[in-house]
Each structure stands twice: as C-alpha cells, then as structure tokens.
Amino acid sequence: MSPAVRGVGVDIVDLGAFAASLAEPGTRFTGAFSATERRQCRERAESRGAGRGAATARADGPDARTSSSSSDRSDPLARHLAARWAVKEAVVKAWSAALYGAPPPIAPDLLVWSEIETVCDAWGRPSVRLSGEVARHVAATVGEGVRWHVSLSHDGDSALAFVVLEGPVDG
C-alpha cells in the first residue's frame, strides 16, 4: 500500500462572530477544545500581549461565563481558538471527501469535537491528533497510519484552515 491524498478540507471562520459565540453562556464551544488546545492557544495569546482576562477564562471551562468585548483583534485567544475550530471543520470535510459515496460513520450531532485536536510542535507548526471514537472511525474507514497536513492563516477578520488527509490506498 502506498500513501496518497485521500481528502482535502478547507474552512474559514469569521473572527468577530466566533468571539461572540465563544462569549455566550452555554456555548457549544465550551467542550469543543481539548485541554492541550486551550493551553496552547492561551500561551500563544499571552505571548502576544494578552493577559489572563475574561477571554482566557471563557476558553478554560463551562464555569467561566464572563463576557467582555469580543472584537477579534482585541481578543487574541478567540483568534487562536477560531483557527483551531476551522481545523476541526476542515478535518471533517477532508475525511468526508475520502468517504465520497459512503454514509458518514458518525452522525454530526454525535461527533465529539474535542477528539479532533490541533497540536503544535515546539516551533508552532500545527498538526492533527485524533482520539476516541473519531480516531477509531477514521482508522476503520480510511485506514491505519493516516497523516494530516495542516495550514492555518489569519487575515483581517478571518481565520482559515486547509487540511490534507493522506492515507494508504491499495495498489
């Protein structure tokens, strides 16, 4: 078996709308990010001058329901989390493209978003790490040993993720 591109996914997130959604009490984004993602985004935001304000608290868990100004440029944490959300969406699109013509293995309302994780190496280069049911279903439908190639970008009021799913094909 040789590796080949099995799927491509892209997603763009409006930073202002995302920051507003992140600030809403009971938001679905509370559990969408792993502890590693929240930590890495918090560290990146802090390294760029953001303090440990309400934006950081919102991303840290369901009990932090404080609201503050959600402008994308004044909320670096939301900016970084928005890019991670775009990766999650792009991963699902790339995986779906690899399964063209077959039904989705996980119903959209049962997908655990935190099982699709953006992790960065020591130099800040992003990659995807899957866990739980998502990892099991990807292995069962696309094969073991898949590789995810990720590119993130911010421009103006948008965050963008481009993901390529590389996996084994018979041949």
Q: What band does 171 get if pLDDT is binned at 50, 70 and 90?
A: low
Task: Please name the residues in contact with 20: beta carbons below 8 A apart, sequence gap of 6 or more.
Answer: 70
Q: What is d(CA 141, CA 145) in angstroms, rounded to the nearest whole number?
A: 12
Confidence (pTM): 0.83
CATH topology classification for 2-169: Ribosomal Protein L22; Chain A (3.90.470)
Q: Where are the domains of the chain?
A: 2-169
Residue 18 · residue 58 · CB < 8 Å: no
Task: Please name the residues in contact with 83: beta carbons below 8 A apart, sequence gap of 6 or more.
Answer: 13, 118, 152, 153, 154, 159, 160, 161
Q: What band does 68 get if pLDDT is binned at 50, 70 and 90?
A: very low
Residue 70, token pair as written in the block: 């959600």
Residue 66, token pair as written in the block: 């404080």
Task: Please name the residues in contact with 69: beta carbons below 8 A apart, sequence gap of 6 or more.
Answer: 75
With the C-alpha atoms ordered 136, 139, 145, 147, is the resulting torsion angle positive or negative? negative
pLDDT digits (tens, 9 = 90+) for 21-48: 999 998 988 799 999 999 999 998 898 7
Can you tell me which residue has the tokens 């404080």? 66
φ and ψ at residue 135, rounded to 5 degrees? -60, -45
pLDDT for 52 equals: 47
Distance spanning both ends of the chain, measured CA to CA: 6
